[in-house]
């Protein structure tokens, strides 16, 4: 027994190195698997929101240094007066950092970006995060005492962003205060299309929302003034006091979609951007009616809404529904969409076309036609096709008199009798006028094959043979003299042949049948 245990321990000791090798191999495979899954996840997230590469000049993440992360090697240097810049914890995680400046007159300089800006009519976009409270010059290609050597600058007092094009006055954009909160800012210089006297327009976005669009004159000269961050060249005061992060510089004016995509990319770690799951629908209505456009956001996430008409904001239209009251033809052809945004991003809905028809009186597209039928025709139909605004009202007439309850597009006569012979027309009206249809006629032909005075249709109703004359036909039975008792005998059923009783019944039915058209006469 002792020998067996010793042998078993020896074999196990020999196998131990091989077991350790197998364990190390499995652990390595598992680590690489996790790394592959992480890379796939990063790639997938990178595909959803990306930074616009076209026109990117430089990207400074400020993660502990002033190196340009775009690959163009446009590195920044610190002004000697300011010493080594500080880097503090970023808005996301401790692994990232932000640039912190103390408000001194020193600034960060990027020599290779001398002359950067909108001068010469070029489009330019600047994007960065700033942490409130903050004040001072954010960045610019400008000299404090030499405006002719200035291209642009952007500064803030903590409540407004002030932008200059190097000439003329600054333009201001107010934004809501948010102490200790990071705000995402995008400044876009683009060509002015509407105003030929203005060389550029500038639009500012804060947290993915446009806070204003202003015309601006810019210095058209091609300058060599260096680009500075946290101040401008030669300044004696106004150095940036605060923190900034993730500075992007683009040599073009980003489009609206690119701005939103950039914000979604930069705020991807904060929350989920809104997704529109129900789009507004195109509508065709008449003048004076009410119209409502609606959208829905996925999971009813808290969002803000801004409706636009032809890409222009509608004042006060900040709900998920947009109602237009008493629309006019001036709105015909307008396209409505909504910008949905939250703290993580924004998204546009699809555009919905509104068509507004002018109000019009009724018009008849198809007239009724005259008809000729035989007595007892199962169905005769007069009808019209009309056009006009709003609700159309119909009233049919027979020989100039209204027919009760005949108020539809169609007039249907069933089992017509001779008293239906005559002229028919219809009056069509709405709130804006009326029109009469053509007057048409109905001819009813009667036939008496056996010439006994009862028409063929009447004999069919009496279930008699239209081809064999009846005993009395349509002739009234003789009225007995007062001294006789023929009516009493008839009512009592005595001294009357079956033929007489039958003929009397036929005569009474005939009288009732021929009196059935009295309601036409009373109209």
Tell me the DSSP string of 106-143: --EEEGGGTT-SSGGG--EEEEEEEEEEEEEEEEEE-B
Mean pLDDT value across residues 61-82: 83
Q: What pLDDT shows up at residue 494?
A: 38
In the predicted structure, residue 80 carries a pLDDT above the cut 70? no
Last residue of a domain, one of 218, 245, 266: 266
Query: Per the domain annotation, does 307 fall within a domain?
Result: yes
Range list of H helices, 167-323: 256-266
Mean pLDDT value across residues 354-371: 92
Instruction: Check whether residue 127 and residue 194 sit in a common domain.
Output: yes
In the predicted structure, residue 74 carries a pLDDT above the cut 80? yes
| pLDDT over 90 percentage in the chain | 37
Q: What pLDDT shows up at residue 14?
A: 47
- Mean pLDDT rounded to a whole number for the chain: 78
DSSP-derived letter for residue 91 is S
Q: What pLDDT shows up at residue 16?
A: 47
Query: Per the domain annotation, does 41 fall within a domain?
Result: no
Query: Per the domain annotation, does 44 fall within a domain?
Result: no
At residue 351 the predicted structure's pLDDT band, cuts being 50, 70 and 90, is very high
Query: Per the domain annotation, does 370 fall within a domain?
Result: yes
Other CB atoms within a 10 A radius of the CB of residue 13 amount to 9
In the predicted structure, residue 72 carries a pLDDT above the cut 50? yes
Is residue 385 exposed (0-12), middle (13-18) or buried (19+ Cβ within 10 Å)? exposed
Q: Which of 172-186, 235-249, 426-440 has the lowest mean pLDDT?
A: 172-186
CA distance 431 to 135: 63
The dihedrals phi and psi of 202, each to the nearest 5 degrees, come to -125, 135
The enclosing H or E element of 307 equals strand 304-309
Q: Which of 37-51, 177-191, 416-430, 505-519 has the lowest mean pLDDT?
A: 37-51
Residues 307, 308, 309, 314, CA torsion sign: positive
Which CATH number do you get for residue 280?
Answer: 2.60.40.10
Q: What pLDDT shows up at residue 441?
A: 96
State both tokens at 145. 């005492």
Q: Model-level pTM?
A: 0.47
Q: Tell me the pLDDT tens digit for each residue of 135-165.
A: 999 999 888 777 778 889 999 998 899 999 8
In the predicted structure, residue 328 carries a pLDDT above the cut 70? yes
CA distance 324 to 34: 54
Q: Residue 317 in contact with residue 279, Cβ under 8 Å? A: no
Instruction: Check whether residue 195 and residue 330 sit in a common domain.
Output: no
Last residue of a domain, one of 266, 294, 319: 266
| Beta-carbon-side half-sphere exposure of residue 340 (alpha carbons within 13 Å) | 26
Instruction: Check whether residue 103 and residue 241 sit in a common domain.
Output: yes
| pLDDT over 70 percentage in the chain | 73
Q: What pLDDT shows up at residue 44?
A: 40
Q: What pLDDT shows up at residue 22?
A: 41
Which CATH number do you get for residue 222?
Answer: 2.60.120.200
Q: What pLDDT shows up at residue 40?
A: 42
CA distance 83 to 106: 8
Residues 342, 346, 347, 352, CA torsion sign: positive
Q: Beta strands of 320-432 (E only): which ranges?
A: 321-324, 335-342, 345-348, 352-357, 363-366, 371-374, 380-383, 385-387, 393-398, 401-402, 410-413, 422-430
Collapsing DSSP states into helix, strand and coil, what is residue 58? strand
Residue 133, preceding peptide bond in cis (omega within 30° of 0): yes
Query: Per the domain annotation, does 289 fall within a domain?
Result: yes
Last residue of a domain, one of 419, 445, 471: 445
At residue 509 the predicted structure's pLDDT band, cuts being 50, 70 and 90, is low
Number of folded domains that form the chain: 4
DSSP-derived letter for residue 218 is B
In the predicted structure, residue 480 carries a pLDDT above the cut 70? no
Instruction: Check whether residue 468 and residue 502 sit in a common domain.
Output: yes
Collapsing DSSP states into helix, strand and coil, what is residue 468? coil
Q: What pLDDT shows up at residue 219?
A: 85
Query: Per the domain annotation, does 247 fall within a domain?
Result: yes
Q: Residue 74 in contact with residue 110, Cβ under 8 Å? A: yes
Q: Tell me the pLDDT tens digit for each residue of 421-473.
A: 999 999 999 988 999 999 999 999 988 887 777 888 888 887 877 777 765 44
In the predicted structure, residue 520 carries a pLDDT above the cut 50? no
CA dihedral 248, 249, 253, 258 (to 10 degrees): -20
Query: Per the domain annotation, does 179 fall within a domain?
Result: yes
In the predicted structure, residue 56 carries a pLDDT above the cut 60? yes
Instruction: Check whether residue 229 and residue 314 sit in a common domain.
Output: no
Residues 195, 197, 199, 201, CA torsion sign: negative
Q: How far is CA 314 from CA 318, 334, 337, 355, in A?
A: 8, 12, 10, 18
Q: What pLDDT shows up at residue 505?
A: 58
Instruction: Check whether residue 250 and residue 229 sit in a common domain.
Output: yes
Instruction: Check whether residue 129 and residue 160 sit in a common domain.
Output: yes
Residue keyed to tokens 């009808």: 383
Q: Residue 75 sits in which domain range?
A: 56-266
Instruction: Check whether residue 161 and residue 301 sit in a common domain.
Output: no
Instruction: Check whether residue 415 and residue 462 sit in a common domain.
Output: no
Q: Tell me the pLDDT tens digit for each residue of 403-427.
A: 999 999 999 999 999 999 999 999 9
Q: Tell me the pLDDT tens digit for each residue of 94-122.
A: 456 888 888 776 788 998 998 898 887 78
Instruction: Check whether residue 347 and residue 301 sit in a common domain.
Output: yes
Query: Per the domain annotation, does 32 fall within a domain?
Result: no
Instruction: Check whether residue 225 and residue 251 sit in a common domain.
Output: yes
Q: What pLDDT shows up at residue 393?
A: 95
Range list of H helices, 49-115: none
Q: What pLDDT shows up at residue 303?
A: 81
Mean pLDDT value across residues 385-395: 91
Instruction: Check whether residue 249 and residue 285 sit in a common domain.
Output: no
């Amino acid at each position: 027994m002792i020998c067996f245990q010793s042998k078993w321990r020896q074999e196990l000791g020999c196998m131990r190195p091989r077991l350790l090798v197998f364990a190390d191999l499995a652990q390595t495979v598992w680590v690489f698997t996790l790394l592959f899954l992480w890379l796939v996840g990063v790639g997938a997230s990178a595909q959803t929101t990306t930074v616009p590469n076209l026109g990117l000049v430089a990207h400074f993440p400020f993660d502990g240094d002033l190196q340009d992360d775009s690959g163009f090697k446009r590195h920044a240097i610190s002004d000697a007066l300011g010493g080594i810049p500080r880097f503090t914890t970023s808005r996301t995680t401790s692994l990232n950092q932000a640039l912190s400046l103390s408000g001194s007159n020193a600034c960060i300089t990027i020599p290779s970006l001398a002359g950067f800006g909108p001068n010469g009519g070029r489009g330019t976009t600047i994007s960065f995060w700033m942490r409130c409270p903050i004040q001072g010059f954010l960045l610019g290609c400008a000299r404090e005492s030499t405006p002719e050597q200035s291209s642009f600058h952007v500064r803030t007092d903590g409540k407004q962003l002030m932008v200059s094009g190097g000439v003329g006055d600054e333009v201001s954009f107010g934004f809501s205060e948010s102490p200790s909160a990071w705000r995402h800012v995008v400044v876009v210089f683009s060509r002015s299309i509407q105003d030929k006297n203005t060389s550029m327009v500038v639009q500012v976005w804060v947290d993915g929302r446009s806070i204003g669009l202003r015309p601006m004159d810019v210095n058209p000269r091609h300058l060599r003034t260096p680009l500075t961050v946290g101040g401008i060249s030669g300044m004696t005061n106004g150095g940036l006091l605060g923190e900034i992060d993730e500075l992007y510089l683009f040599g073009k004016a980003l489009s609206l979609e690119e701005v939103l995509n950039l914000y979604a990319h930069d705020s991807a770690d904060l929350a989920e951007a809104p997704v529109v799951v129900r789009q507004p629908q195109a509508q065709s209505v008449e003048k004076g009616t009410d119209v409502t456009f609606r959208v829905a956001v996925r999971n009813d996430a808290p969002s803000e809404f801004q409706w636009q008409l032809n890409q222009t904001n509608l004042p006060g239209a900040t709900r998920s529904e947009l109602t237009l009251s008493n629309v006019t033809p001036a709105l015909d052809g307008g396209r409505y969409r909504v910008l949905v945004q939250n703290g993580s991003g924004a998204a546009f809905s699809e555009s919905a076309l509104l068509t507004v028809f002018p109000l019009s009186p009724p018009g008849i597209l198809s007239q009724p036609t005259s008809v000729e039928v035989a007595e007892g025709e199962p169905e005769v139909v007069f009808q019209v096709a009309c056009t006009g605004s709003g609700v159309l009202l119909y009233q049919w007439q027979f020989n100039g008199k209204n027919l009760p309850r005949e108020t539809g597009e169609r007039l249907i006569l069933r089992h017509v009798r001779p008293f239906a012979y005559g002229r028919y027309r219809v009056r069509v009206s709405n709130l804006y006028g009326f029109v009469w249809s053509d007057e048409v006629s109905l001819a009813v032909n009667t036939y008496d094959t056996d010439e006994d005075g009862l028409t063929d249709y009447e004999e069919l109703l009496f279930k008699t043979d239209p081809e064999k004359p009846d005993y009395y036909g349509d002739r009234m039975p003789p009225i007995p003299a007062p001294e006789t008792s023929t009516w009493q005998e008839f009512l009592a059923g005595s001294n009357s042949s079956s033929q007489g009783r039958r003929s009397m019944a036929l005569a009474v039915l005939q009288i009732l049948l021929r009196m059935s058209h009295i309601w036409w006469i009373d109209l």
